[in-house]
Amino acid sequence: MANRARAVPENVEGPFFVDSTCIDCDTCRQLAPHTFGDTGEFSFVEAQPRDAAKTRSALHALIACPTGSIGTADKREVAEAVADFPLPVAGRVWYCGFNSRKSFGGNSYFVEHSGGNWLIDSPRYVERLVGRFAAKGGIRYIFLTHRDDVADAARYAQRFGATRIIHRLELAAQPDAERVIEGLDPVELTPGFLAIPTPGHTRGHVALLHQDEFLFTGDHIWWSRVRRRLTASRDVCWYSWRDQVKSVALLGRYSFEWVLPGHGERAYFPREEMQGQVARLIAAVGAG
């Protein structure tokens, strides 16, 4: 839990605060951008929330924070906000929250599906989520984009008897995974779920396209609030920037409306506009 005695001095006065354990993962700024700011090294409370909606968003950020670095004076409101998770994204897709320090605060998602529910990357293992997933029919598949964001996938797989899916080149992160993706060709895992190998950030990174609408991108691409466009970063490319550029170019073959990343902002655009955003990204990384 956050400790007010260690609160960073940049916080404005009020009930919410960030303490010095913050790892600058960006989770809080994605969930409550009106409340939290960025020094470049850690987050801080830039403006105390002034209405019920912004307060709720700040509470969601507190709950999702992977390091428990956000605090507030009203513990009763925290307990109420916990009941909101997972948070709806669109359709039958949900944001799990409870981000894990093991994945440096990476986002994970839950997809309700008649053929079995999916977990894309993994949140912390918490009984609150276990109960909500169970109420929605459990988890049949756990898709892992790459080695960095597996977090507590094994515990969720054991609890629900789920099939974990990961690329052969990332298998060291989940050596007993039940299904292994081979090679660099796209593969339909089940109807409506297409695995698209996107090496670059890591050697065996894979994105997941659901129903030609939702692209779960792991750490491949994301929306940049600073650049106001889709982006990929050479600075966090652990394997090969050259391969990353090639993988970005591959996305021009597909049609979707949502980019749902592990790290960075999610993005929605109507289909044709999203195609334009992807074309702009391909041009930007190709030129850089």
Which CATH number fits the domain that encloses residue 61? 3.30.70.20
Strand partners, 94: 88, 110
pLDDT at 287: 79
Task: Fill in the amino acid letter for 169.
Answer: L
Task: Identify whether residues 42 and 153 lie together within a single domain.
Answer: no
8 Å CB contact between 65 and 75: no
Q: What is the DSSP letter of 93?
A: E
Task: Identify whether residues 208 and 280 lie together within a single domain.
Answer: yes
The mean pLDDT value for 208-227 works out to 96
- Look at residues 27, 46, 80 and tell me which one is the last residue of a structural domain: 80
pLDDT at 159: 98
- Look at residues 53, 80, 107 and tell me which one is the last residue of a structural domain: 80
Rounded CA-CA distance 62/98 in Å is: 9
Q: Which two tokens stand for residue 178?
A: 């039940």
Task: Identify whether residues 125 and 54 lie together within a single domain.
Answer: no
Q: What is the DSSP letter of 77?
A: H
Task: Identify whether residues 135 and 178 lie together within a single domain.
Answer: yes
Task: Identify whether residues 121 and 241 lie together within a single domain.
Answer: yes
How many structural domains is the chain composed of? 2
Task: Identify whether residues 105 and 74 lie together within a single domain.
Answer: no
Instruction: Give me the CATH number covering residue 240.
Output: 3.60.15.10
Backbone angles phi, psi at 75, to 5 degrees: -70, -25
The mean pLDDT value for 36-60 works out to 97
Task: Identify whether residues 74 and 118 lie together within a single domain.
Answer: no
Task: Fill in the amino acid letter for 21.
Answer: T
8 Å CB contact between 123 and 149: no
Task: Identify whether residues 170 and 273 lie together within a single domain.
Answer: yes
Q: How many CB atoms lie within 10 A of CB 253?
A: 9
Q: How far is CA 274 from CA 13, 186, 259, 279, in A?
A: 40, 21, 9, 9
Task: Identify whether residues 66 and 157 lie together within a single domain.
Answer: no
Task: Identify whether residues 68 and 93 lie together within a single domain.
Answer: no
Rounded mean pLDDT of the chain? 96
Task: Identify whether residues 27 and 109 lie together within a single domain.
Answer: no
Domain that holds residue 105: 87-287
Strand partners, 100: 106
Give the pTM.
0.96
- 108 closest CA partner among 151, 60, 137: 151
- Look at residues 80, 97, 116 and tell me which one is the last residue of a structural domain: 80
8 Å CB contact between 191 and 115: yes
Whether 147 shows a pLDDT value over 70: the answer reads: yes
Judge residue 172's burial from the number of C-beta atoms within 10 Å of its C-beta, 0-12 exposed, 13-18 middle, 19 or more buried.
exposed
Task: Identify whether residues 76 and 118 lie together within a single domain.
Answer: no
Q: What is the DSSP letter of 112?
A: -
pLDDT at 288: 67
Task: Fill in the amino acid letter for 254.
Answer: Y
More confident residue, 223 or 287: 223
pLDDT at 77: 87
